[in-house]
Amino acid sequence: MASELGILVKPPSSKAAIEAVEKLRCLRPQALLLNLPENINDLILELASGESFQEFVKEAERKLPKPASAWLKEYEPILKEIPSFGGTLDVICYIDPASFKKSAEKSIELAILAAKSIITGRIEVDKWLKILKSEVEAYEKTIEKEADKIADLSKNYERPICISDFTAKQIKEKLKERGIDPWIQYLGQPYHFTPLEILKRTMMKREVSKEEAEALIREHLRFIQEYIYRKPFPKAVDEWSREKLYWIPKE
């Protein structure tokens, strides 16, 4: 079956998640390939069949790193919309559960380091870089797996849509090697990367000095204290982008 695959690049903002829902309503794809772990696909089916979102999150606690709500928060508008499609949309998660768990563990390690740095005022740059380097190396390995899975799933549909993060460009290249040339659309624009996203993306391209890393880590700690402490992460990211891009006229 010839597949016209589209990739929606969704940063972890509330604005991007809401736009994703609007795109799904407009495009009416046959399948949504969601960048969440495969081991919750059975729960997604129950959610599509009418189970409450609260019950879905409760059940997800058994299958996702705790707290499950933390990993699902940025997808909440999309997940809550699934029942409204009335069975016309196949929703399939495509992320390897083991890879997702490792990524979650690294995020928790970074959160602990951040808490220590905020309390002590000291930044252990080497420890930060060690964790971030392992994350970057894991990204490069999992992109192949994700491309294989997306290619395998999309061939069963004429109009599938895939939700991805900012690794979408690399995934697109891997898919082209597999004979699939997807279109890409970026959601939640304009978007300003968070300090840790900037650091990770830079590390994927080149070596980063300790001084450069420390400056971005300090900015990340400010982001936590001034934004994340005050509101849920997706909304904190929205506010961060608005304030960083203050010179762009509001819509």
Q: What is the pLDDT of residue 101?
A: 93
Is the pLDDT confidence value at 249 over 70?
Answer: no
56-91 residue pLDDT tens: 999 999 999 988 999 999 999 999 999 988 778 999
Instruction: Map tokens 């809401």 to a residue.
Output: 18
111-151 residue pLDDT tens: 999 999 999 999 999 999 999 999 988 887 889 999 999 99
pTM of the full structure: 0.92
Burial of 49 (0-12, 13-18, 19+ CB in 10 A): exposed
- DSSP structure class, residue 73: G
Is the pLDDT confidence value at 2 over 70?
Answer: no
**% residues pLDDT > 90 (the chain):** 83
37-60 residue pLDDT tens: 999 999 999 999 989 999 999 999
Can you tell me the distance from the alpha carbon of 188 to that of 14, in angstroms, rounded to the nearest whole number?
Answer: 8
If one counts every other C-beta atom within 10 angstroms of the C-beta of residue 44, the result is 22
Burial of 128 (0-12, 13-18, 19+ CB in 10 A): buried
Residues 160-189 have a mean pLDDT of 93
Is the pLDDT confidence value at 166 over 90?
Answer: no
Q: Is 66 helix (H, G, I), strand (E, B) or coil?
A: coil
Residues 173, 174, 180, 184, CA torsion sign: negative
